[in-house]
Chain A
Amino acid sequence: MDLKAIRTIARLELIINIRNRWILVFALVFGALVLAISYFGLATAGAVGFQGFARTSASLMNLVLYVVPLVSLLMGTLSLTSDKSTGEMVFSQPITRTEILLGKIGGLFAAIVVATLLGFGVAGLVIAFKTGTEGALRYPLLVALSLALALVFLCLSAAAAMVCRRKPMAFGLALFVWFFYVLFYDLLVIGGTFLLPERTANIFLFVSLFGNPVGVVRVASLIALNGQEIFGPAGAALIRFLGGSGPSVAFLLGALFLWVLVPLLLARRWLERQDI
């Protein structure tokens, strides 16, 4: 594996994404959302004003689960289905297709890291300035989980781009992936539990958690950010089954790793078979 070539491609991908202003747009979106949630989070209770990190982190996670997969899928699909004429020159160099894929995903991930750190960072500073730093440790944890989710969906976008090749089709598939995991999956699981006997339904519910990276991150964030008390009896049972909060989060992160690895291997396999 030529790490220098991977780094060179990743660096170029980062420069391209900085130039096309995606990073700036997403940083602004992230920052605005964090500040809006912090400021208007208690509006339904009749109060407005900045809330501290503890409340903001918990509310923000729900938003992250919607926005981050979409941003990652869009950026990934846009970049990985770039013009044929650009690809021919790169793919004729003495580097493997795997190295090109890893470089591109690396650069895109770096771009998302920059956008996330900028958006969440500036908003975090505002919150710290307004409300103090109590509960601030939860905030980097939230950022880390957001980035893990971004990496998963970047790899899914790579698989979508490689299997479709053409930009409009790849966008269509990427949007389907987003709808499926963010909106439909939970409905399907709930529907499934109605059809199954109670004991099987419980096992089905547990296993189905690992079939959706959004669900994995949601549960990991709930355990890591809020502890098991927010979870109710089912969550407590899950934590007991997995051996406590720490091992549970580790187990869920392991599942996320598989969600990175499997789409990446599929994308690689499809790219290797492609005519450029």
Chain B
Amino acid sequence: MNALLLAAENTVSGNIGAIGYGLAALGPGIGLGIIFGQGVQAIARQPEMTNVIRQNMLLGFAVTEALALIGFVVPFVHS
């Protein structure tokens, strides 16, 4: 068991920025799921409002994805 841990310590290498991005992607992932899920539901309930709904859906998508994109860029900036 101890030897296994030591072996893992010696071989696992990488950038901690990858883990950071994984964490940063959690929130926007949930947010995007909510936005598009509710958006599709709204379109299904009122198909005649499709254009307005899609417009607002994409605007909300743009704001939510900002967090994931910042998480993507920060490791490059700090490396």
Do A and B come together as binding partners?
Answer: no
**A-side interface residues toward B, CB under 8 Å?**
none
**B-side interface residues toward A, CB under 8 Å?**
none
